[in-house]
Amino acid sequence: MPAPFDKVAIIGLGLIGSSIARATREAMPGLQLSGFDAEDGIRDRARGLQLVDQLPDDAAEAVDNADLVILCVPVGAMGAAAAAIAPSLKPAAIITDVGSSKASVAETLRQALPGATIIPGHPIAGTENSGPEAGFATLFKGRWSILTPAADAPMHAIEKLTAFWSALGAKVECMDPRQHDLTLAVTSHLPHLIAYTIVGTARELENVTEGEVIKYSAGGFRDFTRIAASNPTMWRDIFLSNKEAVLDVLDRFRGDLAGLEQAIRDDDGATLHDWFSRTRAIRRAIIDQGQDVAAADFGRASSPAQPKG
């Protein structure tokens, strides 16, 4: 299938941006790629990796004549990134992003780029690593890429962006932005908040040294540390931009946690067993839908170097 675009510009060349560049090179080798990153050091490293065909020192120059512009910056930087590219956008260009919150990002982009064709997006893929060296071409294979177009978004733009993500191996679905934000608050944002809390609590325990926490970490705690190692700037911005949905889900979680705490106090094994049985079924459903593997220890023993999304 021919590439849906002639030129794609990637603004932000960290894990996601560099992975998009690598995946596009493999899937659509004839497509012209340009890129930009606000950090001089990242631009230099990206040049060394030859991630894109053109990597100027100016964002506006990077998007010149691009058919698709992908903003791969923290959600808190979306407004500044959009303003920087506005002067050089081709009138027919499609602008999308990869941010983990959608309602606030969509409004920010509409204000910064009035009249532009904006199709907000979110590929649900990643690792705890960051930087242009962390990217890899298969990051999106078998993963969901959610698009949250406005009701009046041109269908041809949605179809082209769908074809682009599909070519990178992703499964594409359209969703209302507020439904997306609530869903991701449950499946991604709250787990990250819990991970940051648990790892921070373990570090601060007065009667357990930091060395003991590291030396005797069990599998569950190690998985939390992987999540808690994620980019702090990105996650700070996500929590602030998706504040309402995160607080709603956090309130529900607090109530459920209080119920489990009471069951432990009351020696109520039946309540605990029922809760754990129901949650175990979620894990089985995730494996059944191909969103993870059932390998022992989350596949660590069989493929220790394989990044987890």
| Same domain, residue pair 118 and 161 | yes
Q: Which residues contact 149 (CB under 8 A, 6 or more apart)?
A: 119, 120, 157, 158, 174
User: In this structure, what CATH number is given to the domain that contains residue 241?
Assistant: 1.10.3660.10
CA distances 301 to 295, 296, 304, 305, Å, are: 9, 7, 6, 10
Residue 125, pLDDT score: 92
Instruction: Work out whether strand 94-97 and strand 117-118 pair parallel, antiparallel, or are unpaired.
Output: parallel
Lowest mean pLDDT among 33-37, 158-162, 239-243, 303-307: 303-307
Residue 298 scores a pLDDT above 70: no
| Same domain, residue pair 141 and 222 | no
| Same domain, residue pair 53 and 145 | yes
Residue 288 resides in a domain? no
Q: Measured between alpha carbons, how far is 282 from 280 in angstroms, rounded to an integer?
A: 5
Q: Is 50 helix (H, G, I), strand (E, B) or coil?
A: coil
Phi, psi of 36 (to 5 degrees): -160, 145
Structure tokens at 208: 């357990």
Q: Is 140 helix (H, G, I), strand (E, B) or coil?
A: coil
Residue 51 resides in a domain? yes
Residue 259 resides in a domain? yes
Residue 206, pLDDT score: 60
Lowest mean pLDDT among 9-23, 42-56, 277-291: 277-291
| Same domain, residue pair 50 and 170 | yes
Lowest mean pLDDT among 66-80, 171-185, 276-290: 276-290
Picking from 145, 175, 205, the residue at the C-terminal end of a domain is 175
Lowest mean pLDDT among 35-49, 92-106, 285-299: 285-299
Picking from 265, 280, 303, the residue at the C-terminal end of a domain is 265
| Same domain, residue pair 13 and 92 | yes
Residue 108 resides in a domain? yes
| Same domain, residue pair 142 and 19 | yes
Over residues 88-117, the mean pLDDT reads 96
DSSP 70-114: EE-S-GGGHHHHHHHHGGG--TT-EEEE--S--HHHHHHHHHHST
Phi, psi of 38 (to 5 degrees): -70, -20
Residue 115, pLDDT score: 94
| Same domain, residue pair 35 and 76 | yes
Residue 88, pLDDT score: 95
User: In this structure, what CATH number is given to the domain that contains residue 20?
Assistant: 3.40.50.720
Q: Is 234 helix (H, G, I), strand (E, B) or coil?
A: helix
Residue 280 resides in a domain? no
| Same domain, residue pair 183 and 149 | no
Residue 69: domain span: 7-175
Picking from 121, 152, 175, the residue at the C-terminal end of a domain is 175
Residue 300, pLDDT score: 52
| Same domain, residue pair 40 and 138 | yes
Residue 305 resides in a domain? no
Residue 303, pLDDT score: 38
Residue 280 scores a pLDDT above 60: yes
Closest by CA to 188, choosing from 143, 131, 130, is 143
Residue 190 scores a pLDDT above 80: yes
Torsion of the alpha carbons at 170, 176, 179 and 183, rounded to the nearest 10? 10
Q: Measured between alpha carbons, how far is 40 from 215 in angstroms, rounded to an integer?
A: 38
Name the band, by pLDDT with cuts 50, 70 and 90, for residue 297: low
Residue 306, pLDDT score: 38
Q: Measured between alpha carbons, how far is 187 from 13 in angstroms, rounded to an integer?
A: 25
Query: What is the spatial order of strands in the sheet that 171-174 belongs to?
Result: 121-123, 144-147, 171-174
Work out the percent of the chain whose per-residue pLDDT is above 70: 93
Residue 302 scores a pLDDT above 60: no
Q: Pick the residue with more confidence: 278 or 300? A: 278
Instruction: Work out whether strand 144-147 and strand 171-174 pair parallel, antiparallel, or are unpaired.
Output: parallel
| Same domain, residue pair 194 and 259 | yes
Residue 275 resides in a domain? no
| Same domain, residue pair 171 and 203 | no
| Same domain, residue pair 209 and 134 | no
Q: Average per-residue pLDDT in the chain?
A: 90
Residue 95 resides in a domain? yes
- What confidence tens digit (pLDDT) does each residue in 23-51 have? 999 999 999 999 999 999 999 999 999 99
- What confidence tens digit (pLDDT) does each residue in 192-220 have? 999 999 888 887 876 677 777 777 777 78
Domain count, the chain: 2
Over residues 271-298, the mean pLDDT reads 79
Over residues 111-131, the mean pLDDT reads 93
Name the band, by pLDDT with cuts 50, 70 and 90, for residue 282: confident
